[in-house]
Amino acid sequence: MKFLPSQLAYFLQNKTTRRNIRALARFLLVLSLLVITYSVVFHYLMAAEGAEHSWITGFYWTLTVMSTLGFGDITFHSDMGRAFSIIVLFSGIIFLLILLPFTFIQFFYAPWLEARTRSHAPRYLPADSSGHVLLTFSDPVGMSLIEKLRSYQTPYALLVEDLKTALDLHEAGIRVVLGDRDDPETYRKLQIDKAALVVANGSDESNTNIVYTVRELNPDIPVISLADSPNSVDIMALAGSTFTLQLREMLGKALARRTVGGETQANIIGRFDELVIAETPVNGTHLVGMTLGKSRLREMSGVNVVGVWDRGVFQSPRRETAITNSTVLVLAGTEAQLARFDKHVPATASSSPYIIILGGGRVGRHVAAALRERGLDHVIIERNPAEIRDDSPYVLGSAADLGVLQQAGIERATSVVITTQSDDTNIYLTIYCRHLRPDVHIISRTTMDRNISTLHRAGADLVLSYASLGSNAIINYLQHSRIMMLAEGLDILRIPVPSSLQGKTLQESNIRAKTECSVIVLRHNDNTIINPEPKTALLRDMEMLIIGSISSIRNFLGEYNITLSDTFH
């Protein structure tokens, strides 16, 4: 009940509501005049039949007849009186049983419920809000970014225009604000002057409008926008975008880097100053069948195995970890060390790599362009002739057609890259290609993070998420090299050595066993140690780089009672 005055105030502020209330009042006035008129006529007709009744009795009779109750204790005996009763009865049915409920619900009750519902959707952020990230759309990139922001205790707010969507997200625990994206007042209510970042993650046209509106209110705030068309990059820059991401191009290049074939086995997925992080599928190499301990990769090349992917499951490396055809190793080292690794573990099928790309849309074309730069033989399967636009070889037809796949050369392919926008289609094609070629290396894209594990179960060796790629890039920009997100759920964190570990060696700290994170770099003054030895001491004023999944990074922060915002300067 304590919210009733505020709900009434909000309800009555609406011009449409006030107009509806006036219409309802006019209807009630007409109904009252009708009841009064019928009551007066009742008295005259009763007097004509020789009966006398009070005015209260007249109103009583009129209302019982109009509401169809008709108790029968007062009745007319003449035809004139009974005809009048019929008129009162039918008008009561129309006015009291049809028009009154409809008018009340349409003009008062429904708007009241809507106003009450709207009052539960937040329309502004508290005045003390600061350092928050503003997201403008609840698309896959936005929802993936929210999960990562929550994991690292970074404040955020999601702007939503649709009331139902806002309430659904609010019920799900998402911090939403209801408002119009093209209204400057909305951003003032979102404390735009104290926000850390604005993410425009809708269509190119909507993003341009958002960027321009935000830039008018705050010339200095960083604004990251997503661009679907290459032509939009310059336009968004003119509107004021600080940084524009072409996710489809990024995704295409990332998929191409992970194909089997070419001169190198290790595919670089990230850099952290002089440290290089790479992934390498080992199917077809001499490493298959060994354990990590027996592979002696560190002794032979200097690289450190900091993680192992096996069909979408990330695990910390252990000496007894088995290397299978589905294993993908995550390596950390310098470029020279990775070159030694490539020499020690030659790239599979390097003499005749052949890649089939399923889907000739923008992502597929970017994959093909990246493969052409590497000089790798490839072909695109596309069923829509309008998508055939560049110089890559094409096979026109459906990738679900065995004849089309055979025409494309499925029997000699070293890798299959699945790039369609539909996750359902990608799962379907993954199952089919895995059945046709149990030994082929399958890489697939996905739009939604939740389908990553499904694609791995379907037979994909590697899966790259459009949503995670975008959210990772935004997080990397936001954290200014404190956190670097690499693949799905794989992060690097730069952090000072916790006080509880100072004076201990890496072996004594037992970080990997406690948190499943790996220390890959130690820095002290101008000295940088990449892949430090277990006996390396952890000194005061030393900085460490650790790598692990989101959950293991969270374990590390919890184990040593660290808050990111309190740690970095």
The CATH number for 180's domain is 3.40.50.720
Residues 284 and 318 in one domain: yes
pLDDT classification of 197: cutoffs 50, 70, 90: very high
Contact 329, 316 (CB under 8 A): no
Confidence label for 140 from pLDDT (cuts 50, 70 and 90): very high
Question: SS3 of 552, please?
Answer: helix
In this prediction, residue 153 carries a pLDDT of 80
Q: Average the pLDDT over each of 128-132, 343-347, 397-401 and give the range with the smallest value.
A: 343-347
The pLDDT score that the predictor gives to residue 176 is: 93
Res 335: pLDDT: 87
pLDDT at 309 over 50: yes
Q: pLDDT higher for 22 or 139?
A: 139
Same domain, 330 and 427: no
Establish if 252 belongs to a structural domain. no
Pairing outcome for strands 223-226 and 243-245: parallel
Q: Give mean pLDDT, residues 191-200.
A: 94
Residues 338 and 370 in one domain: no
Q: Is residue 254 part of a domain?
A: no
| 158-186 pLDDT tens trace | 999 988 888 889 888 899 999 999 999 99
Q: Look at the chain and report how many structural domains it folds into.
A: 5
Query: Are 169 and 229 within one domain?
Result: yes
| Dihedral sign (CA 357, 359, 365, 366) | negative
Q: Is the predicted pLDDT of residue 2 greater than 50, yes or no? A: no
What share of the chain has pLDDT > 90, as a percent? 40
Domain for residue 220, yes or no?
Answer: yes
| Residue 474, domain member (yes or no) | no
Task: Read off the pLDDT of each residue in 214-219 and give the average, rounded to a whole number.
Answer: 94
Find out whether 531 and 317 touch, Cβ atoms under 8 Å.
Answer: no
Domain end among 309, 344, 379: 344
Residue 139, in any domain of the structure: yes
Q: Are strands 490-496 and 483-485 parallel, antiparallel or unpaired?
A: antiparallel
- For 223-275, what is each residue's pLDDT tens digit? 999 999 989 999 999 999 999 999 999 999 989 887 866 555 677 777 777 78
**Average pLDDT for residues 359-368, to the nearest whole number?**
93
Please check whether residue 470 is in contact with residue 245, taking contact to mean a CB–CB distance below 8 angstroms.
Answer: yes
Strand order from edge to edge, sheet including 156-160 = 176-178, 156-160, 133-135, 197-200, 223-226, 243-245
Most confident stretch, 64-78, 392-406, 483-497: 392-406
Do 174 and 201 sit in the same domain of this protein?
Answer: yes
Q: What pLDDT was estimated at residue 480?
A: 55
Query: Do 113 and 140 sit in the same domain of this protein?
Result: no
Tokens of 72: 């029968």
CATH of the domain at 86: 1.10.287.70
One-letter amino acid of 448: M
Q: Beta 156-160 vs 133-135: how paired, if at all? A: parallel
Query: What pLDDT is recorded for position 567?
Result: 42
Mean of the per-residue pLDDT values of the chain: 85
Looking at residue 264, its pLDDT comes to 52
- Whether residue 177 is contained in a domain is answered as yes
What Cα–Cα distance (Å) separates residue 274 from each residue in 329, 495, 544?
20, 17, 14
**Which residue among 295, 326, 344 closes a domain?**
344
Instruction: With respect to residue 125, please indicate whether it lies within any of the assigned structural domains.
Output: no
Residue 41 contacts residue 84 (beta carbons within 8 Å): yes
Q: What is the pLDDT of residues 475-507, one digit of tens each?
A: 877 765 555 656 556 778 888 899 899 999 999
pLDDT band at 117 (very low <50, low <70, confident <90, very high): low
Same-domain status, 8 and 79: yes
> What pLDDT is recorded for position 568?
38
Domain check: are 232 and 140 in the same one? yes
Q: Is residue 116 very low, low, confident or very high in pLDDT (cuts 50, 70, 90)?
A: low
**297/330 same-domain check:** yes
pLDDT in tens, 76-114: 988 898 899 999 999 888 888 887 777 777 776 677 666
Nearest to 32 by CA among 69, 67, 65, 63: 63
pLDDT band at 349 (very low <50, low <70, confident <90, very high): very low
> If residue 285 lies in a helix (H) or strand (E), which one and from where to where?
none
What's the mean pLDDT in 392-408? 94
pTM over 0.75: no
On whether both 332 and 362 belong to a single domain, the answer is: no
Which of residues 93, 118, 143 is at a domain's end? Answer: 118
Domain that holds residue 440: 354-467
Q: Say whether both 436 and 527 belong to one domain.
A: no
Q: How confident is the model at residue 393 (pLDDT cuts 50, 70, 90)?
A: very high
State whether 139 and 223 are in the same domain.
yes
Res. 381 pLDDT band, cuts 50 70 90 = very high
| CATH at residue 298 | 3.30.70.1450
- 459: in domain: yes
Taking the C-alpha atoms of residue 334 and residue 231, their distance in angstroms, rounded to an integer, is 37
